[in-house]
Amino acid sequence: MTHPIPFARMNGLGNEILVADLRGTSARIAPEAARTLAAKAETHFDQIMAIHDPVTAGTFAFIRIINSDGTEAGACGNGTRCVVQALSAETGVRNFVFETSAGLLEASERADGLLTVDMGRPRFDWRSIPLSEEFADTRAIELQIGPIDAPVLHSPSVASMGNPHAIFWVAKDVWSYALDRFGPILENHPLFPDRANISIARVTSDRSMDLRTWERGAGLTKACGSAACAAAVSAARTGRTGRSVAVTVPMGGELLIEWRDDDHVLMTGPAEWEWSGTLDPATGAYLRDEAPAEARA
């Protein structure tokens, strides 16, 4: 292994995350290395959060977000919480400003150990999501799966939270739908020139919902923070809920989403450290640290 970099295997409510520290180097994690890591059960991930030296004054770091297929994403709320927990444990700092390809993110670790990420402002205009054709009202667009006279899924809300999202509202349990079959079709639908994250949401009260997500470039995941944000703001925008919502994800955990009056969306939830090691950013070869998890400071 040449030029190894430290990394940690973590998760945010089951969303499988690798946090890789490339600060002080000019290295980047190659798409081939990402795919190699994703192919192994021990290092399989939904996103790699690659921490780089800051580009913009006043920020702590620049974060590249890499999907399991080697492509890049603009936002990952669950991954950002993992980054905050890792850096807070290392530095003692509680409040951070990060830069990603989608813009600046403020994030913090609370006294109770939960982590909050300001995911910024949602975008609803069809051009900024983006869509390939004009829709004046993105609260419900013309898109469906299944027979024309009896579609299985139809009329999703669409929004951008740094990534494009389509949310299909359903009355039945979210597990009743073959998202593993519909997800790839909808992710790559011509309506989404940058592909899209596809979610199925069931509102359970004016302050809660269940959510499953097919993530572009990653497939079915156990949680998706930006999807939870997109679903929460779309639910409020369509009158299904208020502006504070608890979103239950497949592992059974909750993300607390608040759409503030200043239009910013705050996401609060846990993160969990699993193990750490070093990896070669060019090849994906890695070694686990020998220290057990309980020995971590």
Write down the catalytic residue from 5, 63, 76, 218: 76
The candidate with the shortest Cα–Cα distance to 114, out of 221, 279, 254, is 254
The β-bridge partners of 123 are 160
What pairing do the DSSP bridges indicate for beta strands 197-205 and 164-169?
parallel
- Nearest in space to 160 (alpha carbons), one of 121, 188, 199, 112: 121
In 3D, which of 88, 151, 86, 165 has the Cα closest to residue 123? 165
Residues 6+ apart with CB under 8 A from 77: 12, 117, 119, 161, 224, 225, 226, 228, 229, 255, 267
Helix (H) or strand (E) holding 203: strand 197-205
Catalytic annotation present for 229: no
Question: Among residues 224, 227, 230, 266, which one is catalytic?
Answer: 224
Q: Which residues, listed in sequence order, are joined to residue 107 by a DSSP beta bridge? A: 96, 117
Most distant pair of Cα atoms in the chain: their distance: 59
Question: Which positions are annotated as active-site residues?
Answer: 76, 224
